[in-house]
């Protein structure tokens, strides 16, 4: 790892031309830094900017209640909302704060006319730490004028993360929606741009249902077949070993016609995926999923070396793994 070098002293970052913060690379890397230090930009404030872009937090939602559901809403679920509880309570004039998978016009956040705040989760981030970017967006949304969206920006490197802003004792309970009507409580008065965005989003949304009997498992319907995508918090190597044990034993399915086909890796956790016949709905897999959870718990508890068949099963599962983040 590169050694850290001293940064310019002072409580506030210097402001560059046009009021742009010095974290932003507004000059060439070899040009003098606009802060007036006399050093090249890349050796002065450009170093912090480059580090902020390159540094990736592999598990940004770790420590938040419902970490696996955060991952699901970020990567897998088209339309869902969650009421958030702030650690310090709601500011005056803000009746509620709601996390949403996506907002109209891909806004990072929106302060509604009534003062309530919506935060979009499925947005591009600039810093490499989704949690820090979301926290920065949330803080700005709480201070925004009612009736205005909040634009994206790179979060300050020393800014808080969502783990610091949210109440760690509050539940995280996603509500999955069939469409994005939650965007516009009064659809008749929506702007043409928002109405068009709503129509496009509803047309593209895949029907999705959250299972009630197990944590962070989401059924979805596609034209060819249905799927169950289940976000799991267990360490990757331990989980893959456990899945391999079940797969080799012929007990990794969720019933007749279903098949464990692989997994996603997303934000530091693993998401096993099952193919389901088109006629199998969310209610049909509730009981099989609960029974699978019991088999998985037993397999996770085993520390015996993998057999040859289990190693082959593990290799097959690993080869069918896709990284989403």
pLDDT along the chain (325 residues), means of 10: 37 35 47 72 62 73 97 97 97 97 93 96 89 97 96 91 97 96 78 84 93 98 94 97 98 97 96 96 98 98 97 95 82
DSSP state of 280: -
117-120 sheet: strands from edge to edge: 148-150, 109-111, 117-120, 97-100, 80-83, 175-176
Sign of CA dihedral 159, 162, 166, 167: negative
According to DSSP, the residues that pair with 262 across neighbouring strands are 273
- The pLDDT, as a whole number, for residue 124 is 85
Pairing relationship of beta strands 259-266 and 321-323 according to DSSP bridges: parallel
Long-range contacts of 191-195 (CB under 8 A, 24+ apart): 193/104, 193/105, 194/104, 194/105
CA nearest 97: which of 142, 147, 150?
142
CB 107 within 8 A of CB 122: no
CB 180 within 8 A of CB 202: yes
- CA 147 to chain CA centroid, Å, is 26
Helix (H/G/I), strand (E/B), else coil: 286: helix
Work out the burial of residue 207: count CB atoms within 10 Å of its CB; fewer than 13 is exposed, 13-18 middle, 19 or more buried: middle
135, containing H or E segment: helix 130-143
CA nearest 16: which of 223, 220, 8?
8
Give the C-alpha distances (Å, rounded to integers) separating 59 from 64, 67, 68, 127: 11, 9, 11, 14
- The pLDDT, as a whole number, for residue 9 is 38
Residue with tokens 């004039």: 93
Distance CA 197, CA 75 (A): 20
Give the C-alpha distances (Å, rounded to integers) separating 296 from 77, 146, 197, 219, 242: 24, 48, 42, 19, 7
């Amino acid at each position: 790892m590169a050694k850290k070098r001293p940064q310019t002293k002072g409580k506030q970052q210097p402001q560059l031309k046009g009021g742009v913060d010095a974290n932003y690379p507004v000059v060439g890397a070899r040009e003098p830094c606009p802060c007036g230090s006399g050093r090249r930009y890349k050796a002065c404030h450009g170093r912090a900017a480059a580090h902020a872009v390159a540094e990736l937090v592999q598990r940004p939602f770790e420590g938040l209640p419902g970490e696996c559901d955060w991952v699901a809403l970020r990567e897998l679920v088209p339309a869902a909302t969650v009421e958030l509880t702030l650690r310090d309570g709601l500011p005056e004039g803000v009746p509620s704060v709601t996390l949403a998978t996506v907002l109209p016009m891909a806004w990072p956040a929106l302060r509604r006319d009534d003062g309530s705040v919506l935060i979009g989760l499925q947005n591009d981030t600039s810093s490499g730490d989704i949690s820090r970017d979301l926290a920065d967006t949330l803080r700005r949304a709480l201070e925004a004028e009612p009736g205005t969206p909040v634009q994206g920006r790179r979060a300050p490197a020393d800014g808080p993360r969502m783990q610091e802003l949210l109440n760690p004792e509050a539940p995280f309970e996603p509500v999955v929606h069939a469409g994005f009507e939650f965007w516009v409580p009064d659809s008749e008065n929506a702007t043409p741009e928002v109405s068009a965005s709503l129509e496009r989003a509803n047309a593209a949304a895949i029907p999705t249902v959250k299972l009630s009997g197990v944590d962070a498992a989401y059924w979805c319907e596609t034209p060819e077949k249905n799927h169950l995508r289940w976000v799991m918090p267990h360490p990757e190597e331990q989980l893959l070993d456990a899945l391999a044990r079940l797969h080799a034993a012929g007990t990794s399915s969720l019933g007749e016609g279903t098949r464990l086909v692989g997994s996603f890796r997303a934000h530091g956790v693993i998401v096993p995926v099952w193919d389901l016949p088109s006629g199998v709905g969310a209610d049909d897999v509730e009981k099989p999923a609960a029974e699978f959870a019991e088999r998985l718990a037993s397999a996770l508890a085993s520390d015996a070396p993998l057999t040859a068949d289990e190693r082959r099963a593990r290799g097959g599962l690993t080869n069918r793994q896709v990284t989403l983040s």
